Amino acid sequence: MLPFVVLQDQYDIIEKHTQSGLELVEKYVKFVKERTEIEQNYAKQLRNLSKKYNGKRSSKDEPDCRLSSYQAFLDVLNEMNDYAGQRELIAENMMMNICIDLTKYLQEIKQERKTYLMDAKKAQQNLESTYKQLDSSKKRFEREWREAERAAQYAEKTDQDINATKADVEKAKQQAHMRAHVAEDCKNDYAAQLQKYNKEQNNFYFNEMPLIFNKLQDLDERRVRKLGQGYILFSDTEKQVMPIIGKCLEGITKAGTSVNERNDSMVIIEQNKSGFERPGDLDFEDFSQAINRTSSDTSLSTPKGPMDLLAKNRGKNFWLFSKRSKKFTPDKVMPTVTEDFTHLPPEQRRKKLQHKLDEISKELQKEVDQSEALGKMKDVYEKNPQMGDPASLASQITQTTQNIERFRAQLGKYETWLAEAGGRGDTLRYKSHAFNNNGSHDIHSPDGAHSDESTPDTSQAIYAEFDDDFEDEELTAPIGTCTAMYNFPGASEGTISMQEGEELEVVEGDKGDGWTRVRRNNGDEGYIPTSYATITLFK
């Protein structure tokens, strides 16, 4: 490979070429920036599109939510949203790894190139200055030599002139001698300047400029190599997210294959079947009996006239082909919505009652858990008065007890209606246990009132069983961590001991009562005073 030094007489070409190379880097950076804008706009449009069709999130109670085709469409929208995120990642990585990096590098090599060009200009100026000195000494030598020749010729002419005095001849010779001496000095100065210039010129063309050309060549090659790497990054940036994009597309394919038309049909049938039996055959109505009736018929019963027989079928509803009227008319009274859902068809009524039972059971479970927590807290306060006043919990315990009784009454009412409707009564069971003041399990109401074990309340017996789901309940995910600042014995029921500096997981935050529920690594859980630990919740 030939170096730039072979272009020693083409300095302007090298300067122009290196400048053009910098402009190419700037042009590529601008190109990538515009590409990132396209990616960002594309990602934004995809997100808006997904949000547009997924903006109105349907409630789980809506019928369509159970259809596989509906759920698959939601999965497609979610995958498209993730796909948009990958396009944003492409834009971000291109901006960081190409645009910002190349822009910084461009500034560095611009400054480096400027330094080299300034060195070349300085060397050129030094050479030109030396040449000017050489040219000046040359011209002076030439001028003084001519003067010396004229002086010598005049002295010779004067010496041969018979009319010239001896003094004139002597003066002419002295003048010629002086001019010759000056010319000799100029000659020596010219020779010295010429030697100096040749030395400077040799250094300029064989040392200084080759070094500068080599540096410019190295700079230009580094610039080209860096630009080539930028071209590769343009491709690699997108390749890096291709596996994730592929997963998004696979997710869309999976959503499509998950569509089950038979299952959707069964869901529609299950959701909308009324429970009515199909109508039987209509009886033949013989209107001729009014004419040919026998005397025995007359004596046994009163014949029905044609209007009576027509009225017999007037109330039958041909529900399969009927259309629901949206307008209220006096002769068509709309059904009244009742609490026990008797206005609905049998099957729909059973579903509504079952759903209502599940909701009440969940609310009841919350109140039972609250009652249990209050009981533990009261027990801790009674054993450790410095931590709180047990009497301050009385109003909360009373309110919780009232809520439990109210939900129990509602639960019993709806279970009765569900039994009437032919339902199985698969309600969501709850844990019905509390703690007495001694910390032992007992059949107490949440406020501490004792129930007679010899005469159990049969209306509440159905709540005493534990559901399998609760027996196999998984550990609650921690919401943060904490470090104990002081030792805590944890002697009361529901509390847990800890040592100063011990680290625990936070599973339930302080609800304003001064207690936080924590868990050790071995799974032990319990309450600690919030003020006894430094708590850090996850964001």
What DSSP string runs through 305-355?
Answer: PHHHHHHHHHT---TTT----SS-BTTBPPPPP-TT-TTS-HHHHHHHHHH
Q: How far apart are CA 132 and CA 134, in angstroms?
A: 5
Res 9: pLDDT: 60
Q: Which of 360, 450, 455, 456 is nearest to 408 (CA)?
A: 360
The pLDDT-based confidence of 417 (bands split at 50, 70, 90) is confident
pLDDT at 432 over 60: no
Closest-CA residue to 97 (of 108, 105, 86): 105
Helix axes 101-160, 11-54, angle to 10 degrees: 160
The band of 453, judged by pLDDT with boundaries at 50, 70 and 90, is very low
Give the residue with greater pLDDT, 306 vs 281. Answer: 281
CA–CA distance, 426 with 324 (Å, rounded to integer): 33
* pLDDT tens digits, one per residue of 200-248: 999 998 898 889 999 999 999 999 999 999 999 999 999 999 999 999 9
Residue type, 34: E
Per-residue pLDDT band for 387 (boundaries 50, 70, 90) equals confident
Instruction: Provide the pLDDT for residue 424.
Output: 54
Pairing outcome for strands 533-537 and 480-484: antiparallel
Is the per-residue pLDDT at 487 higher than 60? yes
Ramachandran class of 279: left when φ > 0, alpha when ψ lies in -120 to 50, beta otherwise? beta
Cα separation, 109 vs 25, in Å, equals 11
Beta-bridge partner residues of 480: 506, 537
Identify whether the C-beta of residue 106 lies closer than 8 Å to the C-beta of residue 26: yes
Q: Flag whether pLDDT at 384 surpasses 70.
A: yes
SS3 content of the chain, % helix, strand, coil (to 5): 65, 5, 30
Which residues make Cβ contacts (< 8 Å) with residue 233, sequence separation at least 6? 94, 97, 98
Q: Angle at CA 316, nearest 5°, toward 314 and 318? A: 120
Give dist(CA 494, CA 377) in Å, integer: 8
- Res 48: pLDDT: 94
Per-residue pLDDT, 444:
39
Asked whether the predicted pLDDT for residue 159 surpasses 90, the reply is: no
The pLDDT tens digits for 79-126 are 999 999 999 999 999 999 999 999 999 999 999 999 999 999 999 999
Question: Which of 29-33, 272-276, 294-298, 479-483 is predicted with the least confidence, judged by mean pLDDT?
Answer: 294-298
The pairs formed by 379-386 with CB atoms below 8 angstroms and a separation of 24 or more are: 379/435, 379/437, 379/439, 379/492, 379/493, 379/494, 380/492, 380/493, 380/494, 380/495, 380/515, 380/527, 382/437, 383/491, 383/492, 384/492
pTM, two decimals, is 0.52
pLDDT range class, residue 445, cuts 50, 70, 90:
very low
The residues, ordered by sequence, that sit 6+ positions from 139 with a Cβ below 8 Å of its Cβ are: none
The percentage of residues in the chain with a pLDDT greater than 90, rounded to a whole number, is 41
pLDDT the model gives residue 270: 77
Task: Give kind and range of the element (H or E) at residue 526.
Answer: strand 525-529
Longest Cα separation, the chain: 203
Of 74-78, 439-443, 455-459, 525-529, give the range with the top mean pLDDT: 74-78
Average pLDDT over residues 23-36: 96
**Rounded (10°) angle between helices 101-160 and 209-257:** 160
